[in-house]
């Protein structure tokens, strides 16, 4: 401050009126300008943050909807594949099976067609009529000379009367869904195509069905989803600003679905074509797609979620691009575009109003400042003189020589003048009482701190209690797992196991039990993980040990008894949990396998791997009270050096940071490369490779591995 005033001559004088007015006006002007500028910047930052959160939320909702939307067809296919294997669905003669398909269509309203085709080209399915939504039976076989016939169905799914017959010959083996499934030899999606009956764009989930030996192809079960109708309603209901758009396109740039109000198909009914997103009539959809193509060069280059900004018709737009890949052939892009003007219009109006009000306040403040300055100038000078007297120790009114008549009509100044009289005594009293007040305040703070400490102790105790409960369940899980000493005592076999839960309490299960010369191995996976899944895992271990102790070695009775036990407990728990479970009994080089779980890998001494599909060997445990009709078993002979690898889906379905799955091919390579070592060395090689693949990605599912090798 001294340096600031040193630039003026010593005899420089400024009137008090100017000293009061000029800084006051400059301060208000600076404040108004700064507030307006900061308000504008804050508005822009708020809009960017808001749109970023909105884009991420909308993209996540669309992704979640797609995952749920396109998972149901594969679940239906698995049920129908089992029914086809067990001849519950008769495709060749069309005598039974429509009731099951009818119920599936009732439960899944998003499915347009559920059907199966056999290896002779016969066809059998239930569809939703595009005209009125009624459910109809359609089939073709040798009796119909390959021509599709349609029958109406009643409310129980029973055919009632003949509706019509198509003139064209239909061979299921020539359809894209049949070819795609048989070529992939696993669950797969077809490319988007035009439906044979409705002439609407469809996508089909297909599943090849093999006989119980897993060698002969029986046919393909599939489910159609009509793209432009169901999912588009969901996109339109999303709140994306005022004029934002969300759309889904494939890697070729074709619009799969869009919230814009425009047809997704071009051309007439006889020659329909897909609408390219870059040719959309909606300017946001068209402009966003063109910008993405210009920015990345190709839609194939987008492998992770990206947030972009671009100018369209002179206005900034915010864009979120999220790849969607379900691992079965779907490879699409989810795009959300939001114009900045949807949020900035009201903000601009508010800023204009704010600036106008601040300018008005500035004018009023300047005027009031001038008036106050005139009123205060003379009285303040007199009070200043009194202040100088106080600074010299004059604490009495007589010494101050300040009378109320000399302070003007302002009541505050008169009050200030009278306050000078008692200021000295008040200062003295304040100093004396200050220490007492400090002690009182310190006591209050100590009391408040004690209350906070008490609450913290209670919260800590509750957290410890809950953590202890979870730790008890986790420790119980670890305690009942087979110990290394037990596994080493099994004669003639080299056995090792591994389990790592995704949460404190996992839902995976494995066990190795021996009674006499029979070694029983079990591995299972409870749906989900956490406390409830962990409890179901403990129940399963207890039931398996009990059945093994009473020497129940019949695989059908074993699994049927275990299923009834678990089912009753699940019903009592009012839970929807169930688990896949495979039971292996080994004796004198022979392994019998029963129960539905992941693939069982038989590894020979020369490192060749044979895969046994367990889908026909049972059903999930706890899902139904009677599964005896679905239980079967197979036997495999093991020579010295041969072995078995059991695992849960936490290994092949593990994701890395790039959303890529570990997969079975990589697991095969690691097993074949390390099989010449001990079972523990094979286990270490697999776990090391899986964790190296996952990297810093969070583990979403329990990881369990059980390896048996004949010495």
Among the ranges given (232-246, 641-655, 697-711), the one the predictor scored with the smallest mean pLDDT? 232-246
Does 76 lie in the same domain as 60?
Answer: no
Last residue of a domain, one of 391, 411, 427: 391
Q: Which residues contact 228 (CB under 8 A, 6 or more apart)?
A: 200, 201, 257, 264, 265
| Residue 461 is assigned to a structural domain of this protein | no
Is it the case that residue 386 has pLDDT exceeding 70? no
Strands 193-194 and 201-210: antiparallel
| Residue 35 is assigned to a structural domain of this protein | yes
Among the ranges given (14-18, 371-375, 403-407), the one the predictor scored with the smallest mean pLDDT? 403-407
Phi-psi region of 125 (alpha: psi -120 to 50; beta: other; left: phi over 0): beta
Does 111 lie in the same domain as 60?
Answer: no
Q: What is the pTM of this model?
A: 0.44
| Residue 453 is assigned to a structural domain of this protein | no
Burial (CB count <10 Å: 0-12, 13-18, 19+), residue 451? exposed
Does 372 lie in the same domain as 332?
Answer: no
- Alpha carbon dihedral 650, 653, 657, 660, in 10-degree steps, equals 170
CB-CB contact of 499 with 506 (8 Å): yes
Is it the case that residue 384 has pLDDT exceeding 90? no
Is it the case that residue 418 has pLDDT exceeding 50? yes
Tens-place pLDDT, residues 570-599: 888 888 888 899 999 998 999 999 999 999
Strand partners, 224: 113, 204
| Mean pLDDT calculated for residue range 657-663 | 91
CB-CB contact of 169 with 146 (8 Å): yes
Does 422 lie in the same domain as 326?
Answer: no
Confidence category of residue 427, pLDDT binned at 50, 70, 90:
very low
| Mean pLDDT calculated for residue range 93-121 | 91
- Phi, psi (degrees; rounded to nearest 5) at 637: -95, 130
Sign of CA dihedral 236, 241, 242, 244: negative
Among the ranges given (19-23, 146-150, 312-316, 544-548), the one the predictor scored with the smallest mean pLDDT? 19-23
Is it the case that residue 191 has pLDDT exceeding 60? yes
Does 660 lie in the same domain as 537?
Answer: yes
| Residue 136 is assigned to a structural domain of this protein | yes
As a whole-number percent, the residues of the chain with pLDDT over 70 amount to: 78
| Residue 547 is assigned to a structural domain of this protein | yes
| Residue 458 is assigned to a structural domain of this protein | no
Q: What is the mean pLDDT of the chain?
A: 82
Q: What is the pLDDT of residue 39?
A: 67
Phi-psi region of 327 (alpha: psi -120 to 50; beta: other; left: phi over 0): left
For 351, the 3-state DSSP assignment is helix
CB-CB contact of 642 with 603 (8 Å): yes
Does 664 lie in the same domain as 570?
Answer: yes
Does 168 lie in the same domain as 88?
Answer: yes
Is it the case that residue 299 has pLDDT exceeding 80? yes
Confidence category of residue 222, pLDDT binned at 50, 70, 90:
very high
| Whole-number CA gyration radius for the chain | 39
Q: How many domains does the chain contain in total?
A: 5
Tens-place pLDDT, residues 267-285: 766 677 778 888 888 888 8
Does 132 lie in the same domain as 247?
Answer: no
| Residue 405 is assigned to a structural domain of this protein | yes
Q: What is the pLDDT of residue 424?
A: 47
Q: What is the pLDDT of residue 53?
A: 78
The distance in angstroms from the start CA to the end CA of the chain is: 92
| Residue 476 is assigned to a structural domain of this protein | no
Order the strands of the 579-587 sheet from edge to edge.
508-515, 518-526, 579-587, 590-594, 633-637
Is it the case that residue 260 has pLDDT exceeding 60? yes
User: Which 8-state DSSP code applies to residue 630?
Assistant: G
Last residue of a domain, one of 226, 241, 259: 226
Which helix (H) or strand (E) segment is 590 a member of? strand 590-594
Tens-place pLDDT, residues 111-169: 889 999 999 999 999 998 877 888 999 999 999 999 999 999 998 999 999 999 999 99
CATH code at position 694: 3.60.40.10
Query: If we measure between CA atoms, which residue out of 332, 334, 335, 323 comes closest to residue 250?
Result: 332
Tens-place pLDDT, residues 313-334: 888 888 889 898 888 888 888 8
The number of residues making up the chain comes to 711
For residue 249, the enclosing domain spans: 55-69+230-344
Q: What is the pLDDT of residue 669?
A: 94
Does 634 lie in the same domain as 604?
Answer: yes
Q: What is the pLDDT of residue 444?
A: 80
Q: What is the pLDDT of residue 534?
A: 77
What's the CA gap between 399 and 405, in Å, rounded?
A: 17
Does 541 lie in the same domain as 611?
Answer: yes
Tokens 């049920």 belong to residue: 79
Does 498 lie in the same domain as 509?
Answer: yes
Last residue of a domain, one of 344, 379, 409: 344
Does 590 lie in the same domain as 537?
Answer: yes
Higher pLDDT, 338 or 39: 338
The first and second tokens of residue 412, run together, are: 């505050």
Tens-place pLDDT, residues 594-628: 999 999 999 999 999 999 999 999 999 988 888 88
Q: Which residues contact 329 (CB under 8 A, 6 or more apart)?
A: 180, 184, 188, 189, 190
List C-alpha distances in Å: 391 to 16, 189, 414, 472.
Answer: 21, 92, 20, 75
CATH code at position 277: 3.30.450.20
């Amino acid at each position: 401050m001294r340096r600031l005033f040193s630039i003026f001559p010593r005899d420089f004088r400024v009137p008090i009126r100017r000293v009061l007015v000029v800084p006051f006006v400059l301060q208000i002007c600076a404040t108004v300008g700064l507030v307006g500028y900061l308000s504008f910047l804050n508005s822009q930052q708020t809009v960017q943050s808001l749109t970023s959160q909105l884009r991420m939320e909308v993209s996540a909702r669309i992704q979640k909807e797609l995952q749920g939307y396109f998972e149901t067809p594969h679940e239906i296919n698995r049920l129908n594949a089992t029914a086809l294997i067990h001849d519950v669905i008769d495709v060749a003669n069309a005598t039974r099976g429509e009731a099951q398909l009818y119920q599936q269509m009732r439960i899944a309203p998003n499915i347009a067609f559920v059907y199966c085709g056999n290896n002779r080209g016969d066809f059998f399915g239930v569809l939703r009529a595009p005209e009125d939504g009624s459910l109809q039976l359609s089939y073709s076989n040798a009796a119909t000379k390959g021509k599709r016939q349609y029958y109406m169905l009643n409310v129980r799914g029973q055919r009632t009367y003949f509706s019509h017959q198509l003139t064209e010959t239909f061979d299921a083996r020539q359809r894209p869904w049949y070819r795609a499934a048989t070529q992939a030899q696993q669950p797969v999606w077809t490319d988007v195509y035009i439906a044979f009956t409705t002439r609407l764009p469809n996508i089909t989930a297909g599943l090849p069905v093999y006989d119980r030996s897993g060698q002969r192809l029986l046919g393909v079960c599939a489910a159609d989803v009509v793209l432009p109708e169901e999912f588009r309603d969901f996109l339109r209901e999303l709140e994306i600003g005022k004029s934002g758009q969300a759309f889904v396109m494939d890697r070729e740039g074709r619009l799969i679905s869009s919230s814009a109000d425009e047809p997704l198909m071009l051309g007439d009914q006889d020659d329909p074509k897909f609408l390219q997103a870059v040719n959309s009539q909606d300017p946001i959809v068209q402009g966003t797609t063109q910008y993405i193509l210009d920015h990345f060069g190709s839609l194939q280059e987008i492998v992770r979620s990206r947030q972009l900004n671009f100018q369209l018709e002179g206005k900034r737009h915010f864009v979120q691009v999220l790849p969607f890949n379900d691992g079965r052939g779907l490879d699409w892009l989810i795009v959300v575009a939001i114009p900045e003007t949807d949020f900035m219009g009201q903000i601009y109006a508010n800023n204009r109003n704010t600036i106008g009000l601040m300018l008005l306040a500035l004018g009023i403040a300047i005027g009031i400042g001038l008036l106050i300055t005139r009123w205060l100038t003379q009285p303040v000078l007199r009070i200043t003189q009194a202040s100088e007297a106080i600074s010299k120790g004059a604490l009495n009114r007589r010494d101050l020589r300040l009378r109320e008549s000399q302070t003007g009509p302002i009541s505050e100044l008169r009050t200030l003048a009278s306050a000078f009289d008692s200021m000295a005594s008040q200062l003295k009293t304040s100093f004396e009482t200050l220490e007492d007040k400090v002690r009182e305040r310190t006591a209050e703070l100590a009391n408040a701190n004690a209350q906070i400490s008490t609450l913290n102790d209670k919260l800590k105790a509750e957290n410890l209690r809950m953590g202890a409960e979870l730790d008890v369940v986790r420790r119980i899980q670890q305690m009942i797992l087979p110990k290394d000493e037990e596994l080493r005592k099994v004669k003639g076999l080299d056995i090792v196991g591994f389990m790592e839960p995704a949460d404190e309490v996992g839902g995976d299960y494995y066990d190795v039990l021996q009674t006499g010369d029979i070694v029983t191995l079990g591995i299972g996976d409870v749906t989900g993980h956490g406390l409830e899944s962990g409890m179901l895992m403990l129940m399963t271990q207890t039931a398996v040990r009990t059945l093994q102790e009473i020497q129940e070695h019949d695989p059908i009775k074993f699994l049927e008894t275990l299923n009834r036990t678990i089912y009753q407990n699940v019903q009592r728990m009012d839970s929807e949990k169930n688990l896949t479970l495979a039971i292996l009994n080994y004796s004198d080089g022979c392994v019998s396998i029963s129960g539905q779980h992941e693939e069982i890998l038989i590894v020979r001494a020369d490192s060749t791997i044979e895969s046994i599909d367990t889908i026909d060997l049972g059903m999930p445990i706890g899902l139904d009270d009677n599964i005896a009709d679905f239980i079967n078993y197979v036997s495999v002979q093991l020579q010295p050096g041969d072995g078995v690898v059991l695992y849960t889906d936490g290994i092949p379905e593990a994701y890395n940071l790039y959303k890529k799955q570990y997969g079975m091919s990589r697991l095969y390579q690691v097993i074949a490369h390390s099989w010449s070592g001990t079972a523990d060395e094979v286990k270490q090689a697999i776990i090391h490779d899986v964790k190296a693949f996952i990297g810093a990605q969070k583990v979403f599912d329990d990881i369990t591995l059980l390896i048996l090798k004949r010495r």
